[in-house]
Amino acid sequence: MSKAHILKAIQAAKPVPCPLPVVPVFEAETPPTREIFGSVAAQSGSRVVRAEDFVGLATAVRTIYPKDISIATPLRAIQSDIDLQQASPADLNGVDVAVIPAQLGVAENGAVWVTEADCVHRVLPFIAQHLVLVLPEDRIVRNMHEAYAQIKIDDTGFGVFIAGPSKTADIEQSLVIGAQGARSLTIILI
């Protein structure tokens, strides 16, 4: 049995116990503002806008993505063109824009925490051509330490920090936006 074998080998090989350090929260002097979050997110290729500047969420989505007709969203405020409860994951391949509520934003890296419960289908934020995350403005924290203190990573079966549109630099280090996942990310602050 390899498990017993491996554990025995570890017990014979492991060093004397070392203490586990306490991780501080590293609170910066500046509060985790919308401005810092917005500028860091922009550097990673995300677009950050405020819903109130568009007279509401639905208008914001339609204004930013005027040509993309099919929208998938679990949000009641926006008309969904596909019934997420009925669809299979593969059915979502034709979705132009996914609009998904998000739980938390991180100012230091522009990442946004999204869980399975928010997406209905885990694949939705990845398979849609464009992704819109809707984030309450008061849910922005400073850094990843604060973020992990506020979320519970095993609350649902799957959760993800999304820090921009899908990208790659695998051909000669040239940055290309839109590798396998969404080609653009818009974060709408509410």
In whole angstroms, how large is the CA radius of gyration of the chain? 20
Q: How many residues does the chain have?
A: 190
DSSP symbols for 4-18: HHHHHHHHHHPPSP-
Report the nearest approach of another protein to the CB of residue 23 (Å). Answer: 6
Q: Binding to another protein by residue 19, rule CB under 8 A? A: yes
Q: For another protein, which residue of 68, 122, 137, 190 counts as binding (CB under 8 A)?
A: 122
Q: What is the footprint of another protein within residues 142-181 (CB under 8 A)?
A: 143-145, 147-149, 152-154, 156-174, 176, 178-181
For residues 50 and 167, which CB has a smaller minimum distance to another protein in the complex?
A: 167
Q: Binding to another protein by residue 7, rule CB under 8 A? A: yes
C-alpha 89/C-alpha 144 separation (Å) is 30
Q: Binding to another protein by residue 10, rule CB under 8 A? A: yes
Report the nearest approach of another protein to the CB of residue 126 (Å). Answer: 5
Q: Binding to another protein by residue 117, rule CB under 8 A? A: no
Size of the site for another protein (CB under 8 A): 72
Give the β-pairing of 140-141 and 167-168.
unpaired
Using an 8 Å Cβ cutoff, are 50 and 42 in contact? no
Q: For another protein, which residue of 127, 135, 187, 189 counts as binding (CB under 8 A)?
A: 127
Q: For another protein, which residue of 35, 55, 59, 90 counts as binding (CB under 8 A)?
A: 90
Q: Binding to another protein by residue 86, rule CB under 8 A? A: no
CB atoms within 10 A of CB 120: 17
Q: What is the footprint of another protein within residues 37-76 (CB under 8 A)?
A: 40, 43-44
Residue partners of 116: CB distance under 8 A and separation at least 6: 122, 156, 157, 158, 159
Using an 8 Å Cβ cutoff, are 177 and 124 in contact? no
